[in-house]
Amino acid sequence: MPITEILEKNARLYPNDVSLVEINPEVQERNRVTWKEYALIESNPTERYRHEINWRQFDEKANRFANLLLSRGLKKGDKVAILLMNCLEWLPIYFGILKAGALAVPMNYRYTADEIKYCLDLSESDVLIFGPEFIGRVEEICDRIPNVKHVFYAGKNCPSFAESYDNLVGYCADTPPNVEITDKDDAAIYFSSGTTGFPKAILHNHESLMHSCRCEQNHHGQTREDTFLCIPPLYHTGAKMHWFGSLLSGSKAVLLRGIKPEWILRAVSEEHCTIVWLLVPWAQDILDAIDRGDINLSDYRLAQWRLMHIGAQPVPPSLIKRWKAMFPDHLYDTNYGLSESIGPGCVHLGVENIGKVGAIGKAGYGWEVKICDENGGTVTKGEVGELAVKGPGVMTCYYNDPKATAEVLKDGWLYTGDMAQEDEDGFIYLVDRKKDVIISGGENIYPVQIEDFLRKHDAIKDVAVIGIPDQRLGEITAAIVEVKPEASLTEAELEEFCKTLPRYKRPHKIVFAQVPRNPTGKIEKPKLREIYCGGSLVEKQIKG
């Protein structure tokens, strides 16, 4: 069953129930009124902090955009790129593309103009829809994207080089288009995060999207009574595929435009959110704000919040122990996934396995996993190997790239590039990215293990470990350490702290600097290698 049929079912069964809410706290802060007061202001609707639509409106908006695309000659199998910040229109536009039989091509909002052009060319996109934040970048390339036949603008004051989505969709029918879609039809092209190089175009069909829905609801048990708080960018598989649990259960979701701890807790409180997916830095920021006294939990209504889960990156066990100490009634879960496996869920810890914090879990619903040696054979328990996954959510291919596809897809198995090991109970632990393993004097060193150790230091906010060239050992470890704003830490203090580590795992170099992360929370190690491996390390900036 194509995923569009779930939306249509919700529109029939729950037409007047809220499906999506968009909250922009910056609007409320500009006007210095309470959220509830602001919800009552009607005189300036463009400046309201909160907007919502119900399931009937959601489906009608999707139908209108589908019919607009078809009226412009779009054919089944054509591609429509989405370049929008999280907003109330994002998901109806996505589903409108699918209803037209086209492929949705979500794009990273951090892309430069040249990266936008690269991804439009790589995906062979026929249409681009973009928002006001991207006018300058799109204008810069609009004469250099000949394959893009139509450019739509979603927002006020449409630029001259685009057509107004807002003006046009109102004239289109709100009834479903007459386009037959099957599970095997192509549905979407996602781009790899770019943490290991330039983005690849990842092709998925409707079966992949549907399996992601079932996987998410099986893992987290969404019901009609749940409300999901969605903060990460919708262009990425992670946020959207977790939202698919709300779609399948016909429950409300809240799109929060901002990551400040007080904004997150206010959204949970005011919207009665029960499920929140956080990235590691956001969870840490919430705990730090509480510890500093910047946030008083008694100011918020949080009793209904039942589940906090984290994904997109290795999760420090020390962080979860802090979280459970602060929120003892919360269920906790982590999900492992990648865009090639339609996002989170191919490996899943499970809320019942809190005693295994640190593991990413076991095979998720409908998935198989194995840990392989260099020849594709399964390693024995406890040995490190490459994690491979198999299931209905594996990508069709890297679009128009058979060589790259053949490197990772073998006999139906997707080789993830992540190094992992399995314990005696069958739980899988991430060790590191295959390409991030440091070989120093012939010894394999896994940066994630060192990062987890260093994060136990009370003064450290974030840390990344990379290998840097060394004439004698080949590579040595360098720790880029981000210290908490209110704390102090010296190189000598950190070296003393590391003495409990085996000597070969201790960082050879320590740099105090900010740790860069992409919008999905992953450490941008290529950027760090560019900074610190091009020559000698920059002068240490000791904070203390």
Its domain, for residue 501, covers 437-532
Query: Is residue 19, in this structure, part of any structural domain at all?
Result: no
297 in a structural domain: no
Position of tokens 């934040």?
133
What's the pLDDT at 206? 96
For residue 541, pLDDT over 60 is answered with no
Residue closest to 266 by CA, chosen among 222, 309, 231, 224: 231
Cα separations in angstroms, 506 against 86, 174, 460, 477, 502 = 41, 62, 16, 8, 7
Secondary structure percentages of the chain, helix, strand, coil, to 5: 35, 25, 40
Residue 6 domain flag: no
Reference 249, options 285, 224, 268, 229; nearest CA is 224
Dihedral pair phi/psi, residue 324, rounded to 5° = -65, -30
Collapsing DSSP states into helix, strand and coil, what is residue 58?
Answer: helix
Overall number of domains in the chain = 1
Helical H runs in 100-201?
Answer: 113-123, 135-141, 165-169
> Each residue of 147-168: pLDDT tens digit?
999 999 999 999 999 999 999 9
In a domain, residue 464? The reply is yes
Examine residue 499 and state whether it is found in any structural domain, yes or no: yes
Confidence of residue 43 (pLDDT cuts 50, 70, 90): very low
DSSP 308: E
| 411 domain residue, yes or no | no
pLDDT band at 195 (very low <50, low <70, confident <90, very high): very low
Q: How confident is the model at residue 313 (pLDDT cuts 50, 70, 90)?
A: low
Q: What pLDDT score does 476 carry?
A: 87
Please state the φ and ψ torsions of residue 129, each to the nearest 5 degrees.
-120, 130
**Which range, of 25-34, 114-123, 220-229, 370-379, averages the lowest pLDDT?**
25-34
Whether residue 381 lies inside any domain: the answer is no
In this structure, of 151-160, 388-397, 531-540, the range with the lowest mean pLDDT score is 531-540
pLDDT in tens, 29-41: 666 555 555 445 4
The single-letter code of the amino acid at 101 is: G
For tokens 């314990």, the residue is: 423
- Tell me: the pLDDT tens digits for 217-267? 999 999 999 999 999 889 988 888 999 999 999 999 999 999 999 999 999
6: tokens are: 């779930």
> Is 469 a member of any domain?
yes
Q: 518: domain CATH number?
A: 3.30.300.30
pLDDT tens digits, 8-22: 999 999 999 999 999
